Amino acid sequence: MAEAVSVQAWVDRRNLAFESGDLLWAARVLPKGARHTVIEMAFHKARFDCLDVSDEMRRESQQWLAENNVKSLHGKAVAVGDPLPK
């Protein structure tokens, strides 16, 4: 049986993954069998909107989303240089 993880521990691990670009973490939290493109898209959408992550990493995700013509978690178009979500 898997050990229970506190919410704060999960958030701390997520933040570490977002800061380091750990797509393997994202693959583990998404449904098994998710394609790499789905994992990458979900990772960047979530990191772009995460206020606990550095603006540098959020801008990196903003660029990825814009270059791949992927909308934000809220369905809005993303362009490089736009203000980051607050």
Residue spans per domain, the chain: 7-67
Distance of CA 80 to the CA centre of its chain: 16
> Which pTM was predicted?
0.89
Whether the Cβ atoms of residue 30 and residue 37 lie closer than 8 Å to each other: no
Tell me how far apart the alpha carbons of residues 24 and 13 are, in angstroms, rounded to a whole number: 12
Query: What pLDDT does 49 receive?
Result: 97
Q: Helices in the chain by DSSP H: which ranges? A: 7-20, 23-29, 36-49, 55-67
Rounded to whole angstroms, how far apart are CA atoms 79 and 16? 25
Taking alpha carbons only, the member of 57, 25, 19 closest to residue 40 is 25
pLDDT in tens, 6-65: 999 999 999 999 999 999 999 999 999 999 999 999 999 999 999 999 999 999 999 999
Which tokens in the block code for residue 59?
Answer: 């801008």
